[in-house]
Structure 1
Amino acid sequence: MMNNLFSMFDPSTSNNLSLNWLSSLMLMIMLPSIFWIIPNKFFFIKNLIIKFLLLELKINVKNNNFIMFFISIFIFILLNNFMGLFPYIFTSTSHLSLNLTISLPLWLSLMLYGWINNMNHMFIHLIPQSTPTLLMPFMVLIETTSNIIRPLTLSVRLTANMIAGHLLLTLLSSMKYNLNLSLIWILILLQIILLILEASVALIQAYVFMTLSSLYCSEIN
Protein backbone atom coordinates (compact mmCIF):
# COMPACT_ATOMS: atom_id res chain seq x y z
CA MET A 1 0.00 0.00 0.00
CA MET A 2 1.33 3.43 -0.96
CA ASN A 3 2.05 5.96 1.77
CA ASN A 4 0.98 8.73 -0.61
CA LEU A 5 -0.19 9.02 -4.20
CA PHE A 6 3.18 10.22 -5.50
CA SER A 7 5.16 7.34 -4.00
CA MET A 8 4.75 5.37 -7.23
CA PHE A 9 7.16 7.87 -8.84
CA ASP A 10 9.93 7.11 -6.34
CA PRO A 11 13.02 6.02 -8.31
CA SER A 12 14.02 3.08 -6.12
CA THR A 13 13.76 -0.69 -6.39
CA SER A 14 15.35 -1.45 -3.03
CA ASN A 15 16.98 0.33 -0.15
CA ASN A 16 20.49 -0.74 -1.17
CA LEU A 17 20.40 -0.64 -4.98
CA SER A 18 18.32 1.47 -7.40
CA LEU A 19 18.10 0.10 -10.93
CA ASN A 20 15.11 2.03 -12.23
CA TRP A 21 17.18 4.71 -13.93
CA LEU A 22 18.71 2.01 -16.14
CA SER A 23 15.38 1.84 -17.99
CA SER A 24 16.37 5.07 -19.73
CA LEU A 25 19.18 3.21 -21.48
CA MET A 26 17.55 -0.16 -22.17
CA LEU A 27 16.12 0.67 -25.59
CA MET A 28 19.21 2.65 -26.56
CA ILE A 29 21.14 -0.63 -26.58
CA MET A 30 18.73 -2.13 -29.15
CA LEU A 31 18.46 0.92 -31.40
CA PRO A 32 21.69 0.64 -33.48
CA SER A 33 20.89 -1.27 -36.67
CA ILE A 34 24.27 -3.05 -36.64
CA PHE A 35 22.87 -5.47 -34.05
CA TRP A 36 20.08 -6.55 -36.43
CA ILE A 37 20.60 -8.86 -39.40
CA ILE A 38 17.39 -7.85 -41.19
CA PRO A 39 15.71 -4.44 -40.70
CA ASN A 40 12.34 -4.91 -39.06
CA LYS A 41 9.18 -2.80 -38.97
CA PHE A 42 10.52 -0.79 -36.07
CA PHE A 43 13.31 0.61 -38.23
CA PHE A 44 10.92 1.40 -41.07
CA ILE A 45 8.72 3.37 -38.67
CA LYS A 46 11.78 5.07 -37.22
CA ASN A 47 12.93 6.13 -40.69
CA LEU A 48 9.50 7.54 -41.52
CA ILE A 49 9.50 9.57 -38.31
CA ILE A 50 13.02 10.87 -38.96
CA LYS A 51 12.09 11.94 -42.50
CA PHE A 52 9.06 13.82 -41.18
CA LEU A 53 11.13 15.51 -38.45
CA LEU A 54 13.80 16.50 -40.97
CA LEU A 55 11.20 18.38 -43.02
CA GLU A 56 9.86 20.08 -39.90
CA LEU A 57 13.22 21.08 -38.45
CA LYS A 58 14.66 22.43 -41.69
CA ILE A 59 12.15 25.30 -41.43
CA ASN A 60 13.68 26.60 -38.18
CA VAL A 61 17.21 25.12 -38.09
CA LYS A 62 19.67 25.48 -40.95
CA ASN A 63 22.56 23.54 -39.45
CA ASN A 64 22.32 19.79 -40.14
CA ASN A 65 24.27 18.95 -36.98
CA PHE A 66 21.69 20.77 -34.86
CA ILE A 67 18.89 18.97 -36.71
CA MET A 68 20.28 15.53 -35.85
CA PHE A 69 20.80 16.66 -32.26
CA PHE A 70 17.14 17.67 -31.87
CA ILE A 71 16.00 14.44 -33.51
CA SER A 72 18.12 12.50 -30.99
CA ILE A 73 16.45 14.37 -28.13
CA PHE A 74 13.02 13.59 -29.60
CA ILE A 75 13.78 9.85 -29.89
CA PHE A 76 15.24 9.69 -26.37
CA ILE A 77 12.23 11.40 -24.76
CA LEU A 78 9.73 9.45 -26.86
CA LEU A 79 11.23 6.08 -25.93
CA ASN A 80 11.30 6.94 -22.23
CA ASN A 81 7.71 8.18 -22.36
CA PHE A 82 6.53 4.99 -24.04
CA MET A 83 8.48 2.72 -21.71
CA GLY A 84 6.71 4.30 -18.76
CA LEU A 85 3.41 2.91 -20.08
CA PHE A 86 4.54 -0.69 -19.53
CA PRO A 87 4.02 -2.32 -16.11
CA TYR A 88 6.92 -2.31 -13.64
CA ILE A 89 9.03 0.06 -15.77
CA PHE A 90 10.13 3.34 -14.24
CA THR A 91 9.07 6.53 -16.05
CA SER A 92 12.23 8.62 -15.93
CA THR A 93 10.68 11.57 -17.80
CA SER A 94 8.23 12.10 -14.94
CA HIS A 95 11.09 13.52 -12.84
CA LEU A 96 12.51 17.02 -13.03
CA SER A 97 15.97 15.65 -12.33
CA LEU A 98 16.10 14.08 -15.81
CA ASN A 99 14.16 16.75 -17.69
CA LEU A 100 16.24 19.59 -16.24
CA THR A 101 19.37 17.65 -17.11
CA ILE A 102 18.28 17.82 -20.75
CA SER A 103 16.76 21.31 -20.93
CA LEU A 104 19.19 23.31 -18.77
CA PRO A 105 22.47 22.45 -20.60
CA LEU A 106 20.64 22.83 -23.93
CA TRP A 107 19.36 26.31 -23.05
CA LEU A 108 22.68 27.35 -21.49
CA SER A 109 24.69 26.29 -24.54
CA LEU A 110 22.32 28.13 -26.88
CA MET A 111 22.54 31.29 -24.78
CA LEU A 112 26.33 31.19 -24.63
CA TYR A 113 26.55 30.62 -28.37
CA GLY A 114 24.12 33.47 -29.06
CA TRP A 115 25.70 36.04 -26.76
CA ILE A 116 29.24 35.22 -27.88
CA ASN A 117 28.64 35.13 -31.64
CA ASN A 118 25.49 37.23 -32.20
CA MET A 119 25.47 39.74 -29.34
CA ASN A 120 23.78 42.53 -31.33
CA HIS A 121 21.03 40.19 -32.45
CA MET A 122 20.45 39.01 -28.87
CA PHE A 123 20.11 42.61 -27.66
CA ILE A 124 17.71 43.45 -30.49
CA HIS A 125 15.62 40.39 -29.67
CA LEU A 126 14.93 41.79 -26.17
CA ILE A 127 12.81 44.58 -27.66
CA PRO A 128 10.14 43.65 -30.22
CA GLN A 129 9.58 45.90 -33.20
CA SER A 130 7.29 48.94 -32.87
CA THR A 131 7.66 48.99 -29.08
CA PRO A 132 6.97 52.47 -27.59
CA THR A 133 9.95 54.11 -25.93
CA LEU A 134 8.28 54.22 -22.53
CA LEU A 135 7.64 50.48 -22.58
CA MET A 136 11.15 49.47 -23.64
CA PRO A 137 12.54 48.96 -20.09
CA PHE A 138 9.52 46.81 -19.19
CA MET A 139 9.80 44.79 -22.40
CA VAL A 140 13.49 44.10 -21.68
CA LEU A 141 12.55 42.88 -18.20
CA ILE A 142 9.70 40.72 -19.50
CA GLU A 143 11.76 39.21 -22.34
CA THR A 144 14.69 38.54 -20.01
CA THR A 145 12.44 36.83 -17.47
CA SER A 146 10.72 34.71 -20.12
CA ASN A 147 14.11 33.74 -21.51
CA ILE A 148 15.50 32.72 -18.12
CA ILE A 149 12.56 30.47 -17.23
CA ARG A 150 12.63 28.61 -20.56
CA PRO A 151 14.51 25.53 -19.26
CA LEU A 152 12.14 25.34 -16.31
CA THR A 153 9.02 25.56 -18.49
CA LEU A 154 10.40 22.91 -20.86
CA SER A 155 11.07 20.45 -18.05
CA VAL A 156 7.95 21.22 -15.97
CA ARG A 157 5.67 20.85 -19.02
CA LEU A 158 7.04 17.39 -19.77
CA THR A 159 7.04 16.33 -16.13
CA ALA A 160 3.49 17.51 -15.42
CA ASN A 161 2.01 15.83 -18.49
CA MET A 162 3.68 12.52 -17.76
CA ILE A 163 2.67 12.59 -14.08
CA ALA A 164 -0.96 13.56 -14.75
CA GLY A 165 -1.82 10.50 -16.82
CA HIS A 166 -0.10 8.08 -14.45
CA LEU A 167 -1.88 9.58 -11.46
CA LEU A 168 -5.24 9.27 -13.19
CA LEU A 169 -4.58 5.62 -14.02
CA THR A 170 -3.56 4.97 -10.41
CA LEU A 171 -6.70 6.64 -9.05
CA LEU A 172 -8.92 4.59 -11.35
CA SER A 173 -7.17 1.34 -10.46
CA SER A 174 -7.63 2.05 -6.74
CA MET A 175 -11.41 2.05 -7.27
CA LYS A 176 -11.54 -1.64 -8.25
CA TYR A 177 -11.99 -2.79 -4.65
CA ASN A 178 -15.20 -0.76 -4.27
CA LEU A 179 -16.91 -1.72 -7.54
CA ASN A 180 -19.18 -4.59 -8.47
CA LEU A 181 -18.13 -7.15 -11.04
CA SER A 182 -20.36 -5.59 -13.69
CA LEU A 183 -18.66 -2.20 -13.26
CA ILE A 184 -15.16 -3.64 -13.42
CA TRP A 185 -15.48 -4.00 -17.20
CA ILE A 186 -16.32 -0.31 -17.51
CA LEU A 187 -13.26 0.53 -15.41
CA ILE A 188 -11.05 -1.66 -17.63
CA LEU A 189 -12.44 0.05 -20.75
CA LEU A 190 -11.73 3.48 -19.27
CA GLN A 191 -8.17 2.50 -18.46
CA ILE A 192 -7.63 1.21 -22.01
CA ILE A 193 -8.87 4.53 -23.38
CA LEU A 194 -6.55 6.38 -20.98
CA LEU A 195 -3.60 4.25 -22.08
CA ILE A 196 -4.28 5.18 -25.71
CA LEU A 197 -4.48 8.82 -24.64
CA GLU A 198 -1.23 8.49 -22.71
CA ALA A 199 0.47 7.04 -25.78
CA SER A 200 -0.58 10.08 -27.80
CA VAL A 201 0.57 12.39 -24.99
CA ALA A 202 3.96 10.64 -24.95
CA LEU A 203 4.37 11.35 -28.66
CA ILE A 204 3.06 14.92 -28.49
CA GLN A 205 5.21 15.93 -25.52
CA ALA A 206 8.38 14.64 -27.17
CA TYR A 207 7.46 16.58 -30.31
CA VAL A 208 6.67 19.75 -28.32
CA PHE A 209 9.99 19.55 -26.45
CA MET A 210 11.91 19.15 -29.70
CA THR A 211 9.96 21.91 -31.52
CA LEU A 212 10.38 24.47 -28.74
CA SER A 213 14.09 23.67 -28.48
CA SER A 214 14.50 24.19 -32.23
CA LEU A 215 12.61 27.49 -32.01
CA TYR A 216 14.96 28.68 -29.26
CA CYS A 217 17.87 27.68 -31.49
CA SER A 218 16.46 29.63 -34.46
CA GLU A 219 16.21 32.79 -32.36
CA ILE A 220 19.97 33.02 -31.85
CA ASN A 221 20.79 32.74 -35.59
Structure 2
Amino acid sequence: MMNNLFSIFDPTTNLFNLSINWISTLIGLMFIPYSYWFIPNRFITLWNIITYKLHNEFKTLLGNNGLNGSTFIFISMFTFILFNNFLGLFPYIFTSTSHLNLSLSISLPLWLSFMFYGWINNSQHMFAHMIPQGTPNILMPFMVLIETISNIIRPGTLAVRLTANMIAGHLLMTLLSNTGSSMTFYLVIFLIIIQILLMILESAVAIIQSYVISILSNLYASEVN
Protein backbone atom coordinates (compact mmCIF):
# COMPACT_ATOMS: atom_id res chain seq x y z
CA MET A 1 0.00 0.00 0.00
CA MET A 2 1.37 3.41 -0.96
CA ASN A 3 1.56 5.91 1.91
CA ASN A 4 0.76 9.58 1.63
CA LEU A 5 3.94 11.61 1.11
CA PHE A 6 2.78 14.14 3.68
CA SER A 7 2.43 11.43 6.32
CA ILE A 8 6.01 12.11 7.40
CA PHE A 9 4.80 15.45 8.76
CA ASP A 10 1.88 13.98 10.73
CA PRO A 11 2.24 14.06 14.54
CA THR A 12 1.19 10.42 14.91
CA THR A 13 3.62 9.26 17.59
CA ASN A 14 1.70 9.04 20.83
CA LEU A 15 1.91 7.74 24.36
CA PHE A 16 -1.37 7.02 26.17
CA ASN A 17 -3.18 8.79 23.28
CA LEU A 18 -1.11 11.93 23.88
CA SER A 19 0.94 13.22 20.95
CA ILE A 20 4.60 13.34 21.97
CA ASN A 21 6.06 14.51 18.66
CA TRP A 22 5.69 18.13 19.70
CA ILE A 23 8.21 17.49 22.48
CA SER A 24 10.83 17.92 19.75
CA THR A 25 10.18 21.67 20.09
CA LEU A 26 11.87 21.57 23.50
CA ILE A 27 14.06 18.48 23.26
CA GLY A 28 16.94 20.48 21.79
CA LEU A 29 17.65 21.91 25.22
CA MET A 30 19.29 18.57 25.99
CA PHE A 31 21.96 19.35 23.39
CA ILE A 32 23.06 22.50 25.23
CA PRO A 33 25.79 21.66 27.75
CA TYR A 34 25.68 23.18 31.20
CA SER A 35 29.05 24.83 30.61
CA TYR A 36 27.34 27.01 28.00
CA TRP A 37 25.87 29.10 30.80
CA PHE A 38 29.01 29.40 32.95
CA ILE A 39 32.17 29.21 30.86
CA PRO A 40 32.72 31.59 27.91
CA ASN A 41 33.71 29.57 24.85
CA ARG A 42 33.85 29.95 21.08
CA PHE A 43 30.23 28.99 20.62
CA ILE A 44 28.88 31.55 23.06
CA THR A 45 31.23 34.20 21.67
CA LEU A 46 30.00 33.55 18.11
CA TRP A 47 26.38 33.55 19.23
CA ASN A 48 26.86 36.86 21.07
CA ILE A 49 28.26 38.40 17.89
CA ILE A 50 25.27 37.16 15.88
CA THR A 51 22.72 38.44 18.39
CA TYR A 52 24.52 41.78 18.63
CA LYS A 53 24.41 42.20 14.85
CA LEU A 54 20.73 41.26 14.81
CA HIS A 55 20.02 43.70 17.64
CA ASN A 56 21.61 46.58 15.74
CA GLU A 57 19.76 45.70 12.53
CA PHE A 58 16.39 45.34 14.23
CA LYS A 59 16.94 48.57 16.15
CA THR A 60 17.68 50.41 12.91
CA LEU A 61 14.51 49.08 11.29
CA LEU A 62 12.35 49.99 14.27
CA GLY A 63 13.67 53.56 14.27
CA ASN A 64 13.85 56.02 17.12
CA ASN A 65 10.22 55.45 18.14
CA GLY A 66 10.79 51.79 18.99
CA LEU A 67 10.53 50.78 22.63
CA ASN A 68 13.71 49.83 24.45
CA GLY A 69 14.21 46.07 24.52
CA SER A 70 11.67 45.38 21.77
CA THR A 71 14.41 43.97 19.54
CA PHE A 72 14.82 41.01 21.90
CA ILE A 73 11.36 39.79 20.89
CA PHE A 74 12.55 39.31 17.33
CA ILE A 75 15.92 37.91 18.38
CA SER A 76 14.12 35.32 20.51
CA MET A 77 11.82 34.47 17.60
CA PHE A 78 14.82 34.12 15.26
CA THR A 79 16.53 31.82 17.76
CA PHE A 80 13.43 29.70 18.35
CA ILE A 81 12.64 29.18 14.65
CA LEU A 82 16.30 28.54 13.75
CA PHE A 83 16.55 26.07 16.61
CA ASN A 84 13.49 24.08 15.47
CA ASN A 85 14.41 24.24 11.77
CA PHE A 86 17.76 22.64 12.48
CA LEU A 87 16.25 20.00 14.76
CA GLY A 88 14.01 18.89 11.90
CA LEU A 89 17.09 18.00 9.85
CA PHE A 90 18.02 15.20 12.26
CA PRO A 91 16.65 11.73 11.42
CA TYR A 92 13.44 10.63 13.15
CA ILE A 93 12.85 14.04 14.76
CA PHE A 94 9.51 15.72 14.16
CA THR A 95 9.78 19.05 12.29
CA SER A 96 7.46 21.31 14.27
CA THR A 97 7.99 24.34 12.01
CA SER A 98 6.51 22.41 9.06
CA HIS A 99 3.05 22.76 10.63
CA LEU A 100 0.78 25.78 10.51
CA ASN A 101 -0.11 25.09 14.14
CA LEU A 102 3.27 26.37 15.26
CA SER A 103 4.07 28.94 12.58
CA LEU A 104 0.65 30.59 12.79
CA SER A 105 0.77 30.63 16.60
CA ILE A 106 4.00 32.64 16.28
CA SER A 107 2.95 35.13 13.61
CA LEU A 108 -0.69 35.74 14.58
CA PRO A 109 -0.19 36.92 18.21
CA LEU A 110 2.65 39.22 17.11
CA TRP A 111 0.55 40.73 14.32
CA LEU A 112 -2.44 41.21 16.63
CA SER A 113 -0.29 42.93 19.23
CA PHE A 114 1.13 45.27 16.58
CA MET A 115 -2.35 46.12 15.32
CA PHE A 116 -3.77 46.75 18.79
CA TYR A 117 -0.81 48.92 19.73
CA GLY A 118 -0.92 50.88 16.47
CA TRP A 119 -4.66 51.55 16.40
CA ILE A 120 -4.82 52.48 20.08
CA ASN A 121 -1.74 54.70 20.28
CA ASN A 122 -1.15 55.85 16.68
CA SER A 123 -4.58 55.69 15.05
CA GLN A 124 -3.95 58.75 12.86
CA HIS A 125 -0.73 57.21 11.55
CA MET A 126 -2.51 53.92 10.87
CA PHE A 127 -5.25 55.68 8.89
CA ALA A 128 -2.63 57.62 6.92
CA HIS A 129 -0.79 54.39 6.15
CA MET A 130 -3.91 53.09 4.37
CA ILE A 131 -3.45 55.60 1.54
CA PRO A 132 0.02 55.98 -0.01
CA GLN A 133 1.17 59.52 -0.63
CA GLY A 134 0.21 60.90 -4.06
CA THR A 135 -2.77 58.55 -4.59
CA PRO A 136 -5.49 60.14 -6.83
CA ASN A 137 -8.79 60.81 -5.09
CA ILE A 138 -10.70 58.42 -7.32
CA LEU A 139 -8.42 55.52 -6.34
CA MET A 140 -8.44 56.15 -2.59
CA PRO A 141 -11.33 53.74 -1.76
CA PHE A 142 -9.65 50.98 -3.74
CA MET A 143 -6.28 51.63 -2.08
CA VAL A 144 -7.88 51.44 1.37
CA LEU A 145 -9.46 48.11 0.44
CA ILE A 146 -6.21 46.72 -1.00
CA GLU A 147 -4.12 47.89 1.96
CA THR A 148 -6.64 46.44 4.41
CA ILE A 149 -6.64 43.03 2.72
CA SER A 150 -2.84 42.98 2.44
CA ASN A 151 -2.59 43.86 6.13
CA ILE A 152 -5.04 41.15 7.21
CA ILE A 153 -3.28 38.34 5.32
CA ARG A 154 0.17 39.19 6.71
CA PRO A 155 0.19 36.61 9.54
CA GLY A 156 -1.04 33.96 7.11
CA THR A 157 1.67 34.72 4.57
CA LEU A 158 4.35 34.59 7.26
CA ALA A 159 3.10 31.23 8.51
CA VAL A 160 2.65 29.71 5.04
CA ARG A 161 6.09 30.94 3.92
CA LEU A 162 7.83 29.15 6.77
CA THR A 163 5.72 26.01 6.52
CA ALA A 164 5.97 25.67 2.74
CA ASN A 165 9.73 26.13 2.66
CA MET A 166 10.29 23.54 5.37
CA ILE A 167 7.93 21.02 3.75
CA ALA A 168 9.35 21.42 0.23
CA GLY A 169 12.91 20.44 1.10
CA HIS A 170 11.87 17.55 3.33
CA LEU A 171 9.52 16.17 0.68
CA LEU A 172 12.22 16.29 -1.99
CA MET A 173 14.68 14.44 0.25
CA THR A 174 12.01 11.85 1.10
CA LEU A 175 11.15 11.26 -2.56
CA LEU A 176 14.80 10.77 -3.50
CA SER A 177 15.53 8.47 -0.56
CA ASN A 178 12.55 6.23 -1.40
CA THR A 179 14.02 5.51 -4.83
CA GLY A 180 17.36 4.34 -3.43
CA SER A 181 16.30 0.70 -2.95
CA SER A 182 15.71 0.22 -6.68
CA MET A 183 18.97 1.81 -7.85
CA THR A 184 22.29 0.29 -8.77
CA PHE A 185 25.41 0.77 -6.69
CA TYR A 186 26.77 3.69 -8.71
CA LEU A 187 23.42 5.46 -8.76
CA VAL A 188 23.16 5.07 -4.98
CA ILE A 189 26.52 6.80 -4.58
CA PHE A 190 25.28 9.60 -6.83
CA LEU A 191 22.06 9.75 -4.80
CA ILE A 192 24.02 10.07 -1.55
CA ILE A 193 25.98 13.00 -2.99
CA ILE A 194 22.73 14.69 -4.02
CA GLN A 195 21.26 14.10 -0.56
CA ILE A 196 24.31 15.68 1.06
CA LEU A 197 23.98 18.72 -1.19
CA LEU A 198 20.28 18.93 -0.36
CA MET A 199 21.09 18.74 3.34
CA ILE A 200 23.47 21.69 2.94
CA LEU A 201 20.73 23.55 1.07
CA GLU A 202 18.20 22.76 3.80
CA SER A 203 20.63 24.04 6.42
CA ALA A 204 20.85 27.32 4.51
CA VAL A 205 17.05 27.43 4.19
CA ALA A 206 16.72 26.91 7.94
CA ILE A 207 18.87 29.99 8.58
CA ILE A 208 17.35 32.12 5.83
CA GLN A 209 13.73 31.40 6.77
CA SER A 210 14.24 32.23 10.44
CA TYR A 211 15.94 35.47 9.41
CA VAL A 212 13.21 36.36 6.89
CA ILE A 213 10.39 35.75 9.39
CA SER A 214 12.05 37.88 12.08
CA ILE A 215 12.89 40.69 9.64
CA LEU A 216 9.37 40.83 8.19
CA SER A 217 7.84 40.84 11.68
CA ASN A 218 10.20 43.67 12.58
CA LEU A 219 9.14 45.63 9.50
CA TYR A 220 5.48 45.15 10.39
CA ALA A 221 6.21 46.44 13.90
CA SER A 222 8.04 49.49 12.54
CA GLU A 223 4.95 50.50 10.52
CA VAL A 224 2.82 51.06 13.63
CA ASN A 225 5.25 53.55 15.24
Distance 1:185 1:85 in 2: 21
> Shift of the alpha carbon at 1:2?
6.2
2:172 match = 168
1:44 match = 45
In structure 2, the gaps of 5 or more residues are none
Correspondence list, 1:31-180, <5 A: 36-61=37-62, 62-180=66-184
> Shift of the alpha carbon at 1:176?
0.4
> Shift of the alpha carbon at 1:34?
7.5
Distance 1:26 1:130 in 2: 52
Q: Which amino acid aligns with 1:38?
A: I
> Shift of the alpha carbon at 1:26?
2.2
Structure 2 vs 1, CA of residues 31 and 121 (structure 1 numbering), >3 Å: closer, same or farther?
Answer: farther
Cα-to-partner distance string for 1:187-218 (whole Å, 9 max, x where unaligned): 00000000000000000000000000000000
Distance 2:37 2:223 in 1: 40
Q: Which amino acid aligns with 1:40?
A: N
C-alpha contact (below 8 Å) 2:36/2:44 kept by paired residues: no
What TM-score does the superposition give when structure 2 sets the normalisation length?
0.93
Q: Which amino acid aligns with 2:177?
A: S
SS at the partner of 1:193? helix
Distance 1:56 1:31 in 2: 27
Please point out which of 215, 219, 224 is paired with 1:220: 224
Q: Which amino acid aligns with 2:45?
A: F
Distance 2:121 2:34 in 1: 38
Distance 2:58 2:9 in 1: 33
- State the identity as a percent: 62
C-alpha contact (below 8 Å) 1:58/1:67 kept by paired residues: yes
1:188 match = 192
Which shifted more, 5-14 or 115-124? 5-14
> Shift of the alpha carbon at 1:27?
2.8
Distance 2:190 2:145 in 1: 52
Q: Which amino acid aligns with 2:172?
A: L
Structure 2 vs 1, CA of residues 45 and 2 (structure 1 numbering), >3 Å: closer, same or farther?
Answer: farther
Report the number of matched residues.
221
Q: CA RMSD in A?
A: 1.8
Cα-to-partner distance string for 1:150-193 (whole Å, 9 max, x where unaligned): 00000000000000000000000011012100111100000000
> Shift of the alpha carbon at 1:35?
6.4
Distance 2:180 2:33 in 1: 42
Distance 1:12 1:144 in 2: 38
